[in-house]
Amino acid sequence: MTTSFKTWIEDNSITEIECLVPDMNGVIRGKVLPATKFIKSEADGSLRMPSSVFSVSITGEYAGDSDEAYADRDLILVPDASTLHIAPGYKSATAFVFADTRMPDGSAWPSSPRHILKEVLALYAAKGWTPIVAPELEFYLTAINADPDLPLMPPIGRSGRAETAPQPYGLESITEYEDLVETIYEHAEIAALHLDTMIHESGAGQLEINFHHGDPLQLSDQVIVFKRIVRQAALAHGVYATFMAKPMADQPGSAMHLHVSIIDSEGTNLFSTPTGADSDLFRHFVGGLQTYLPEIAPLFAPTVNSFRRMRPSHSAPINVQWGKDNRSCGLRVPTADAQNRRIENRLPGADANPYLAIASCLLAGYLGIEEQLEPAAQVGGNAYVHPRTLPKTLEEALERFAVCAPVRKYLGDAFVDAFLCIKQLELDHFQGVISSWERDHLLLKA
């Protein structure tokens, strides 16, 4: 943005500003300020937020020991002018802006997910490379559900009926929610999101949106905003929208597939040779994904629910096999010409924090290039017949992540320890819950 915050805000008659700070789970924290207050605070550097926002678990509790979690120091919010856009759906003229967090000495707060992605991108920039990503994000529309003990159900469409069977790519099925879809597109355009195609996915009430390929940080911001827009639009239309990885037991899970390539300063795709063959760099990148993604799964599968999605023959990978145009593989090479050569990482769930999911993918690939790791042979058939290499549970995933030294080296102890602390707290809470399955099968039989 070439103009100042003050000029843009006045030109657009904005009265309120939402200052957005995504936390470890990708939940939006932040402040809402009158526009005049924001302009003054941004100019004099007085925007503040406590460091504890990066210690909040998905249950809303603080994780960490007394030395850090309760010290709760003030961080300086530094709004990113390139992310300032009009916020749709408000009665008053409102805008949103993402803010980075810095300590009083000017250094970045080390456990900020946005900062983590920037650090990984800097590794590529140092080599003169630019990663390009394109997320594909799946989500479900469901009927309103006020009781968490009851299963989710597909919503009633405009026909007056709910879907009861799979309808992949069904045009009649997606028009069941036409008014809601139109609202989503209208709000996304106001918020300057770069959306491509929306389709009906395999599940009942499951949709998928494709984003245009571009800068990983910008796309992560857009995924965060898109999720918020969809949830708010759904509520306005009398339904829920959920990005849980596995919201319904009898329906497919929801993913956030990531298409990834790398270009040089001339815009040349480094994943392909001039003759159109796989480059050495491409093979090493894939080798890095195969080696490291199973060890850092919590970064793209962050909840207990994430691992319910990754089951054999449930439209989600269980390993990191790779193959050309093979959707049973965790890593798919789409059919494309040399300039569009890319790898599709099908592992992340829709529940993943986009900054961390993309950072994990790019860091794993970077390590593969640095270590010149060779990938396994490509799979031409059903990848589900190959052994599972991904963790089966969040507990196993956290144990493996905690001892992955090469990744810890780049992400830093502060981030890794804070992330593990939050996830362990969430896991402890989950393990303290008695499920309906246990009451059903053990109450009168055990």
Residue 36: C-alpha distances to residues 75, 81, 98, 165, 406 (Å): 21, 16, 18, 52, 46
Task: Tokens for 160, please give them.
Answer: 């007056």
Instruction: Supply the pLDDT for residue 3.
Output: 62
Residue among 260, 274, 281, 270 at smallest CA distance from 215: 260
Structure tokens at 288: 């890095």
**pLDDT tens, N- to C-terminus, the chain (446 residues):** 446 899 999 999 999 999 999 999 999 999 999 999 999 999 999 999 999 999 999 999 999 764 554 567 899 999 999 999 999 999 999 999 999 999 999 999 999 999 999 999 999 999 999 999 999 999 999 999 999 999 999 999 999 998 887 788 888 888 899 999 999 999 999 999 999 999 999 999 999 999 999 999 999 999 999 999 999 999 999 999 999 999 999 999 999 999 999 999 999 999 999 888 999 999 999 999 999 999 999 999 999 999 999 987 667 899 999 999 999 999 999 999 999 999 999 999 999 999 999 999 999 999 999 999 999 999 998 999 999 999 999 999 999 999 999 999 999 999 999 999 999 999 999 999 999 999 999 999 99
Q: Are strands 94-102 and 16-22 parallel, antiparallel or unpaired?
A: parallel
Cβ contacts of 357 within 8 Å, gap of 6 or more? 256, 258, 299, 300, 348
Terminal Cα-to-Cα distance of the chain (whole angstroms): 65
**CB-side exposure of 245: number of CA atoms within 13 Å?**
26
Which tokens in the block code for residue 47?
């925007």
Residue 168 phi/psi, 5-degree rounding, is -60, 130
Distances (CA, A) of 360 to 27, 295, 296: 18, 10, 7
Contact 408, 416 (CB under 8 A): yes
- Cα distance between residue 103 and residue 96, in whole Å: 22
CA dihedral (281, 287, 292, 293) in degrees, to 10, reads 100
> Per-residue DSSP letters for 86-129?
EPTT-SS-EEEEEEEEE-TTSPBPTT-HHHHHHHHHHHHHTTT-
CATH 3.10.20.70-classified regions of the chain: 5-107
The pLDDT value given to residue 164: 82
Residue 389 identity: T
Coil, strand or helix at 302: coil
DSSP symbol at 83:
G
Q: Is 338 in contact with 272 (CB distance < 8 Å)?
A: yes
CA distances from residue 282 to 273, 289, 292, 378, 383 in whole angstroms, order as listed: 10, 11, 15, 13, 21
- What pLDDT does 1 receive? 47
**Residue 429 C-alpha from the chain's centroid:** 23
Closest to 339 (Cα-Cα) out of 433, 213, 206, 254? 213
Rg (CA), the chain: 22
pLDDT score, position 68: 53
Token digits of residue 244: 């849980």
CA–CA separation, 410 vs 371, rounded Å? 14
How many Cα neighbours within 13 Å face the side chain of 297?
28
Q: List the alpha helices (DSSP H) in 297-412.
A: 306-309, 354-371, 394-402, 405-411
> Looking at residue 315, what is its pLDDT?
74
The string over 317-348, giving b where at least 16 C-beta atoms fall within 10 Å of a residue's C-beta and e elsewhere, is bbbbbbbeebebbbbbbeebeeeebbbbbbbb
Q: Which residue has the tokens 């997606």?
A: 174
Check: CB of residue 38 under 8 Å from CB of residue 46.
no
Write out the H or E segment, with its range, that includes residue 379.
none
Half-sphere exposure of 254 (CA within 13 A, CB side): 25
CA dist., res. 245 & res. 346, Å (int): 13
The number of beta carbons lying within 10 Å of the beta carbon of residue 235 is 12
Q: Name the CATH superfamily housing domain 5-107.
A: Glutamine synthetase, N-terminal domain (3.10.20.70)
Distance of CA 34 to the CA centre of its chain: 30
- CATH 3.30.590.10 intervals, the chain: 122-438
CATH 3.30.590.10 fits 122-438, yes or no: yes
Name the pTM for this structure. Answer: 0.96
Distance of alpha carbon 307 from alpha carbon 290, whole angstroms:
18
